[in-house]
Structure 1
């Protein structure tokens, strides 16, 4: 199995985002050349995205001080703008592309569907086209994109009741537009792999959390409200389970996959999809309890019915991930929440 090759150029879209930041940092620590691409939108406070970029600057200084030839170049651009995407491919000629840029959030997609079409469908189409045409623009030893890895989501499983969720399961009944766009990305990537030979791997992430996380996720929102003395809203009366996956485990999974493009699947496509989840669904109320313990505060709780777009349980079958890479996520939820709370208190000086 190949490991990260520091001589390659890695394009990370959504580099100022939660997973994009942590992945870029890990690549920098490995001595790689990283091109970060992000539109810095205000879906959540831009200050947090700017903080991630600041920390990447520190990571570069530390890598160089340790003798590594790492670099990080940030390009502000938008996936839905074809010229922005084409320009970054033409200028930097990425060998490996990690597409993490997307409009995230299940609930936001109910009221703002247009942004998901623009970012997750049109934007991903622009990435696929740029990968396709990278093979037409080879020069100076550049061979075009060697591997496209892209973020899918556990949301594609919709209301599936069979657990754990397997990549072999039928996923034709999404319960949110967000989920539908992510399944569409998988179909589009398969078509481009089949037609144009683009090696493509989709990663179905399961409830990612950790330091510098997304403020729209439950753990972050609950922490904000508990610290402010406000009640937290708990849906389906607390009767839900999530396969919470710590950010370091997610990034380790990606780092294993990036240098290892899939082989032909026997049908003329170099295409693969993996689950990356903790393989251990936790009751939502256990998450709340661990958070209360880490904060040293008991939350005021408001119990509500299930919200539109939500699902009862997520549970990742990671057999293929473990088989192909000898790795599966395993950070205990309690430990991960304690790490998040330490960061939160330091960042907000709480």
Structure 2
């Protein structure tokens, strides 16, 4: 049994991760601000489901509150910290960029300090495929350049990767960054495409399809993502002083116990195929509103997940159509549709 502190425990991914950790017998401390970026009742429902476990305790506070985070960390005495909490959403970053700096930069700095004080065995931090920007090299590999972010969201995530590297170097904290690729599944966020599409189609309202449907995404089912995160807990980046054997294609830093790992399905899907999967799961066609590309958006994301497989033996494999059908079943059940 490990003691694990999870930030963002009431979030979409955080909820699924906490449940997986609890199911395998870990002791989990959740930390979440329950902000009103989207429906707070959905976040509360996730926490309520986790509170069925005796080994789960939740704390409601903001990452920017360093004193509270430090007290929670001191009380929890975690072996591992998994930092998922962030201000999410590419398009919302165009409207309220300061919230991304506060949560994703200041908040991540505070988590790094908490990990240093707790002397954790391993700190794992969420990044995003958005750091690849409009890179032409496909599929994305962890060692390619990520110096041209297209949004403040991507820029703040890139900043957290850079800060984490410096903390790993200065304080010898093993840190793994993982980059997510279009995660979807039950208990998903209302601001994400699958949730919006499902809600609109069921209500007979139009859905917005950007770039006239000429977009591709590496859709990653949430259970596959969580399995990858859990398996990476034991893949602790070694110190450069250890002379540990290297893995071909590893992103391990030569100057710190730090690496970055893609967690994606390794298969790009056309957006219109995704829409058709939603239509098929619901049994009703969508009213399609074709639109131009939005600022900060990119036409393609596509992961090379070879490093994840080399480190853990895990590789996302859920078929997109099956994953969409599972979400639609959850949505109908949760909202009584």
Q: CA deviation at 1:266?
A: 6.5
**Residues 286, 192 of structure 1: alpha-carbon distance in 2 compared, 3 angstrom cutoff:** same
Q: In the alignment, which residue of structure 2 is the partner of 1:192?
A: 167
Tell me the TM-score normalized by structure 2: 0.95
SS in 1 for 2:51: helix
Q: In the alignment, which residue of structure 2 is the partner of 1:82?
A: 66
Q: In the alignment, which residue of structure 2 is the partner of 1:36?
A: 30
Tell me the TM-score normalized by structure 1: 0.91
Q: In the alignment, which residue of structure 1 is the partner of 2:315?
A: 328
Alignment partners' CA distance in 2, 1:259 and 1:98: 13
Q: In the alignment, which residue of structure 2 is the partner of 1:101?
A: 85
Alignment partners' CA distance in 2, 1:55 and 1:282: 32
Alignment partners' CA distance in 2, 1:102 and 1:245: 19
Q: 1:344 aligns with which of 325, 331, 334?
A: 331
Deviation readout 1:244-273 (Å, 9 max, x if unpaired): 000000000011011331112463411010
For the aligned residue pairs, the C-alpha RMSD in angstroms reads 0.9
Q: CA deviation at 1:288?
A: 0.3
Alignment partners' CA distance in 2, 1:98 and 1:266: 20
Q: In the alignment, which residue of structure 1 is the partner of 2:257?
A: 270
Q: 1:205 aligns with which of 180, 187, 198?
A: 180
Q: In the alignment, which residue of structure 2 is the partner of 1:65?
A: none
Given that residues 235 and 312 in structure 2 are in contact (C-alpha distance below 8 angstroms), is that contact kept between their aligned partners in structure 1?
Answer: no
Ranges in structure 2 where 5+ consecutive residues have no aligned partner: 240-251
Q: CA deviation at 1:125?
A: 0.3
Alignment partners' CA distance in 2, 1:23 and 1:84: 23
Matched, 1:235 2:210: yes
Ranges in structure 1 where 5+ consecutive residues have no aligned partner: 1-5, 61-69, 135-143
Matched, 1:57 2:44: no
Alignment partners' CA distance in 2, 1:80 and 1:261: 27
**Residues 340, 266 of structure 1: alpha-carbon distance in 2 compared, 3 angstrom cutoff:** closer
Q: In the alignment, which residue of structure 2 is the partner of 1:72?
A: 56
Q: CA deviation at 1:75?
A: 0.6
Matched, 1:26 2:6: no
Q: 2:150 aligns with which of 133, 157, 175?
A: 175
SS in 2 for 1:15: coil
Given that residues 232 and 311 in structure 2 are in contact (C-alpha distance below 8 angstroms), is that contact kept between their aligned partners in structure 1?
Answer: no
